[in-house]
Structure 1
Amino acid sequence: MDVVESLRVTDSPLLVTHRHADRDTLGSAIGLRELLGRGTICTPDGVARPAKSLLEMFDINPVAHPSAVTHDTVVVLDAPSTERIAPVDPAAPILIDHHEWGNLASKATASLVDTDAGATAELIVRLADTADWELSPGAALPLLVGLLDDTRFLMETAPRSVTAAVDLVGALGDRSADLPPLLDRSPAPGEQSARALGTLRATGYRAGDLFVAVTHVGGYETAAAHALRDAEIDLTVVCSEQADGLRVTARASEAFVERQSLGSDVLPALADEFGGDGGGHEGAGVADLHEVPVDTVEAFLIAHLESELGLTFATVG
């Protein structure tokens, strides 16, 4: 059964976001719920600060675990693996995602996975078109927020994503005035500190024309990673200690991903070595590892890159 038919026959779907839900995963869940006219949203491990305005705008009180509500189907949005939605562990989910494939794909009864899509929200637009579901203003608004946020306002995207964004803008109707506050990109108080500390603490490595930087922060890992990428570092790796282990956030340039994919090569290698889960896209991803010192991860990463790329990295300092 395909995704559209699977969604049509469900009476009480549970729409599951990835842990620490961002605007794309949450916007996709809200948009799909609006299209279906039913469903409960589940956000394991809560919602990231920038996405919380979506909950407020749509007056949503998500559940944290499937046991909190009766449901007949689990729909996983924007997450390739069970680690990314823990403690949720569905036996036979419907999967809609744009990351490199993880273990959820083999468990899914129906799936739409396209790693070339700019955001999972774009895939929901595609489903709506296939199913001939009307893109109401209430569905278009959260989907547009998710698409614009995950593509950095269409800076990192393909023409198909732009077309989806145009369709969503055209469907906003009287909800257009609600868009700006949902896309507020004002940095949280800790983001500026993370950008600065991540840069100051970074250890740099160079091999030929490739530059790698590894650093650690207390939070806002993505902000720190973007700060280093903005400085044209080819691979930025930001570690952050969590209550249950170590989170590794990585971003890479096109020059790097021509040689190695973060989502299918580098981050899974870290997970295989230290336990946990790692994945994402070619140029962006996250690994949630078991407890391990940052120095140990850094040493393994550089050794792994040297082995895989046939290069020898020297410390830059």
Structure 2
Amino acid sequence: MEAIPEAILDTIRRAEKMVLLTHVHPDGDALGSALALRDILEGLGKKTLVFFEEPISFLYTFMPGSDRVCINFEEVKQFAAGGAADSVLLIALDVGDKNRLGRYREELTALAPLLVIDHHLSYDVFGDYSLLEVGISSTAEMVYELALALRATVTLPAAKNLFAAISSDTGSFRYDSTGPRTMRIAADLLELGVRPDEISSALYDNSSLSRLRLLKEVLDTLQLHAEGRVAVVHVEGDMFRRVRAEMDDAEGFVEYPRSLRKVEVAIFLKEKKDGQIGVSLRSKGNFDVSEVARMFGGGGHRKAAGCRFHDEDLSSVRGKILAAVNARLATGA
């Protein structure tokens, strides 16, 4: 990562209070980065508040400090009130698009200056300051570099959250975004006392019985296309009800079709409670799924991306995504 601009470091140093934000339905990188940065900033004497629109998924409650977050926007306004113009700073982590800040995005960005820290290829410039490193493994990697630049202490709880975030966003260090610097940072975190077996167990070996039953239902929907190069699975609302599973139990299911030998693109369609259809895309080889996601208002990385559809059914969404993927496969994109 290139040197962090002194102007950004000075902005952080001047601020007395900071509100840490991330995208809606935060993943492991978003959560781990926010929780770790809060710990790092508090070590520098800053007052901090981590705000999410909704409670943290049970999948990530093992993260240190996950029980100390705010989900009430009125509390955010009270926290940010008063003080000099540069005494309050918003920091958005792992957010590649302003819309991903959620339903309070306009009110939030009106409260104070905004610093965006992100690593997405599909980053859409917004905010007053930005720290962008496309191609780096995770936002957590950037948070660690920021801590070093600020000469801040990285405590063991922060180190655990950073390691969990990096592991989550690299598929346990399997994706090609994992570089030498990623592994050096991981080694630094181990030297601070992180146990990789503990983090891996919490992330990957913590399934409920209902999750496994839901996985069986989802795998039964498997369809192969393009001579086995594309795999599609889906989950519908009645599947959750049938096995008494939670919406978050379907997290990560896209990795199962991706693991098939010949598959280059995996597609997971998820029917949500609000009627939306969430689409998760994963790839192997040179296929860039972020290009497909952007066609439908989404985004992400070359090997992992997603988008959402409103007021459409599963069949319609499946057809649109498959058509886009097949068209790119046909052209060798």
* Fold match (TM-score > 0.5): yes
Aligned match for 2:61, one of 45, 48, 52: 52
Distance 1:151 1:308 in 2: 25
Question: CA 1:229 to 1:184, structure 2 compared with 1: closer, same or farther past 3 Å?
Answer: closer
2:20 and 2:34 in contact (8 A); partners too: yes
1:21-73 per-residue CA deviation (whole Å, 9 max, x = no partner) reads 3332111111111111131111223322221122xx43633122543222232
What amino acid is the match of 1:84? R
Counterpart residue number, 2:90: 74
Mapping of residues 147-166 of structure 1, within 5 Å: 147-156=166-175, 157-166=178-187
Which sits farther off after the overlay, 119-128 or 136-145? 136-145
The percent identity for this pair of structures is 21
| Alignment RMSD | 2.7
2:119 and 2:138 in contact (8 A); partners too: yes
Aligned match for 1:112, one of 121, 131, 156: 131
Distance 1:116 1:8 in 2: 27
2:121 and 2:135 in contact (8 A); partners too: no
Would you say 1:224 and 2:253 are equivalent positions?
yes
Counterpart residue number, 1:262: 289
Aligned match for 1:9, one of 11, 14, 36: 14
Aligned match for 1:211, one of 217, 229, 243: 229
Aligned match for 2:313, one of 290, 293, 299: 293
Mapping of residues 182-197 of structure 1, within 5 Å: 182-183=202-203, 185-197=205-217
When normalised by structure 1's length, the TM-score is 0.82
Cα displacement (A) at 1:98: 2.0
2:95 and 2:101 in contact (8 A); partners too: yes
1:233-278 per-residue CA deviation (whole Å, 9 max, x = no partner) reads 21111111123311111111124x2xxx222x1011123xxxxxx1
Aligned match for 2:303, one of 280, 283, 301: 283
Question: CA 1:20 to 1:303, structure 2 compared with 1: closer, same or farther past 3 Å?
Answer: closer
Question: CA 1:311 to 1:154, structure 2 compared with 1: closer, same or farther past 3 Å?
Answer: closer
Aligned match for 2:148, one of 116, 121, 129: 129
Distance 1:242 1:125 in 2: 34
2:40 and 2:153 in contact (8 A); partners too: yes
What amino acid is the match of 2:264? D
Aligned match for 2:69, one of 53, 56, 62: 62
1:221 and 1:239 in contact (8 A); partners too: no
1:197-253 per-residue CA deviation (whole Å, 9 max, x = no partner) reads 33221222116xx61122211444443211111113211111111233111111111
Counterpart residue number, 1:274: none
Structure 2: tracts of 5 or more residues without a match: 1-5, 81-87, 237-246
Question: CA 1:11 to 1:189, structure 2 compared with 1: closer, same or farther past 3 Å?
Answer: farther
1:84-106 per-residue CA deviation (whole Å, 9 max, x = no partner) reads 33123143521112222333xx2
Aligned match for 2:121, one of 100, 114, 119: 100
1:142-189 per-residue CA deviation (whole Å, 9 max, x = no partner) reads 21221223223322221111011111121238x999757754632233
Which sits farther off after the overlay, 90-99 or 240-249? 90-99
Question: CA 1:204 to 1:286, structure 2 compared with 1: closer, same or farther past 3 Å?
Answer: same
Where 1:237 maps in the other structure, the secondary structure is: strand
Question: CA 1:188 to 1:117, structure 2 compared with 1: closer, same or farther past 3 Å?
Answer: farther
Aligned match for 2:100, one of 65, 76, 84: 84
1:195 and 1:227 in contact (8 A); partners too: no
Would you say 1:239 and 2:260 are equivalent positions?
no
Question: CA 1:223 to 1:193, structure 2 compared with 1: closer, same or farther past 3 Å?
Answer: farther
Structure 1: tracts of 5 or more residues without a match: 272-277, 313-317
1:65 and 1:87 in contact (8 A); partners too: no
2:97 and 2:126 in contact (8 A); partners too: no
Distance 2:330 2:70 in 1: 47
When normalised by structure 2's length, the TM-score is 0.79
Question: CA 1:95 to 1:65, structure 2 compared with 1: closer, same or farther past 3 Å?
Answer: farther
Distance 2:216 2:253 in 1: 7
Query: May I ask how many residue pairs the two structures share in their alignment?
Result: 294
